[in-house]
Structure 1
């Protein structure tokens, strides 16, 4: 589960041009074709386009001859068959998974069945918090609850491949179990759904948490990566600049939410109608969830209040 917050150039509260995320919607990568994108990396896109997945999930192949596959994608046998076909003559040594949304992890089991490779990376799904009384998890169906890796990688833990090194970078927020993978030799980071070049990522309670997501963005500012390879869409070629813009965007979103609450109590869907303009109607539900994630964070910081436990359908007030 991925983008939900496009068209920010149409927001009522616009940041400076240099601080606006410059999303790239031009991505010419037909599904099923393995394309070399760097000396050590090849990419094949799954045929699962949609409002959250853009043109489809990007599956990455690292190495040559003996390879690892990162985010094999959804439960689509045709995608796994295409991947196996283009990798004929090569050995899949390991399968890495960034997080357990159904557009990223289920194909790991199909690929393992075909190759015997171990599944490595993120732990099984777990939520950011317990469900509140009467709360419904709007995105529960997006979670791959069957994911059970053979080996989890802790933050900073390294996998040594033939001619390459992969280091785990834990980035909770979009999901609690989200892990990015650094290709050390190319100073590249496979960012899953944590950072994408075509859109911002949804943060949806109770599975995700906005404060942890922002902390994970800040964490990456300490790294000197040359490129990001996202789980959907093309690369981010200026990571630090893009990170600064994403953080500025989230701060601007907070201000917009607080400004909307200045007129009186509102529920997250009502706030979306006030602070998102020209939003794809298919994304309004996702935008409400990300707004709710911001409101949870603002409540914890004492800036916003609500009666009882914060809920998606509840009214929030500025304190």
Structure 2
């Protein structure tokens, strides 16, 4: 859950007011929605790519003020494409009013889907935040390239946070729009059944060796040392797994016990989501045969090292 990045990695900590248009990379403008919170930090980031004939990445929530700010920012320009990273409402709910105003082609990996089916009796705790009604005009395969007059966007499938998560690379700026896959203000939540830790770690590794030098996240400021920042994310997750195994080697434990031992000083509002992230790690460890539980992994189960 909320875990600040290492102090030796530079990122812009300057607060930005909602509705203010700011250039954050060559050919990229950003607006922040007024939806701050424990999951969204100062608010959801929407990005405008190019000039004249532009694309918008992640319209954000269905907030009339935010949509109006986006439309004002592109007054006199044509919005040809709307890219959507994934189907959590703080990223995708603004699609309908923005498309109605612009007629742009909506592009994404596809409709919302979970990483795995619900177990018998299981309730998806994040279901209310998922946009089940979303349908893109165009479904983007991994590696698809979409171009405008002065921009080239590559779609990269990064399942993990959700099964349909995508990040978008902007060739001209050397930038990667990382949405909720990588954020500069905290680590990302991976919450079953929507997310899967095995997918998430594979998606992080997939970005190694890419040429982008700046990450533009869905929440928070840009991270301008992208390769080092990526490695810090991978190390963080590896460290979290090691902490879980360390606790389990001391004896059988349940998820609430693990959360209290590992997440010291956490915002009380994030205790439940922290448990889901631990569950995601445990699901992966059980699948790999490292950890054992009775039946299927669950929030209420007990776990021990195999």
Alpha-carbon contact 1:21-1:249 (below 8 Å) kept: no
Normalising by structure 1, we get a TM-score of 0.93
How far residue 6 of structure 1 moved from its aligned partner, in angstroms, is 2.1
Query: What is residue 269 of structure 1 aligned with on the other side?
Result: 256
- 1:152-301 → structure 2 map (5 Å cutoff): 152-301=139-288
Alpha-carbon contact 1:27-1:233 (below 8 Å) kept: no
How far residue 7 of structure 1 moved from its aligned partner, in angstroms, is 5.3
Paired positions, count: 306
How far residue 82 of structure 1 moved from its aligned partner, in angstroms, is 1.5
Query: What is residue 3 of structure 2 aligned with on the other side?
Result: 6
Please list the CA deviations of residues 1-22 of structure 1 after superposition, one character each: whole Å capped at 9, or x if unmatched: xxx33258xxxxxxxx7xx885
- 1:75-94 → structure 2 map (5 Å cutoff): 75-94=62-81
Mapped partners of 1:269, 1:25: distance in 2: 35
Please list the CA deviations of residues 43-85 of structure 1 after superposition, one character each: whole Å capped at 9, or x if unmatched: 0000000000000000000011111000000111111011112
* 1:70 aligned residue (54, 57, 68): 57
Mapped partners of 2:22, 2:239: distance in 1: 37
Query: What is residue 147 of structure 1 aligned with on the other side?
Result: 134
Mapped partners of 1:6, 1:182: distance in 2: 25
The 3 A distance-change label for structure 1 pair 76 and 179 is same
User: 5+ residue gaps in structure 1?
Assistant: 9-16
The 3 A distance-change label for structure 1 pair 259 and 25 is farther
The 3 A distance-change label for structure 1 pair 23 and 141 is farther
- 1:306 counterpart = 2:270: no
How far residue 249 of structure 1 moved from its aligned partner, in angstroms, is 1.1
Mapped partners of 1:202, 1:23: distance in 2: 22
How far residue 162 of structure 1 moved from its aligned partner, in angstroms, is 1.0
Mapped partners of 1:314, 1:7: distance in 2: 29
Mapped partners of 1:229, 1:112: distance in 2: 23
User: 5+ residue gaps in structure 2?
Assistant: none
Normalising by structure 2, we get a TM-score of 0.96
How far residue 145 of structure 1 moved from its aligned partner, in angstroms, is 0.6
Mapped partners of 1:222, 1:303: distance in 2: 29
Q: What value does the CA root-mean-square deviation take over the aligned residues?
A: 1.5
The 3 A distance-change label for structure 1 pair 79 and 182 is same
Query: What is residue 107 of structure 2 aligned with on the other side?
Result: 120
The 3 A distance-change label for structure 1 pair 235 and 93 is same
- 1:55 counterpart = 2:52: no
- 1:105 counterpart = 2:57: no
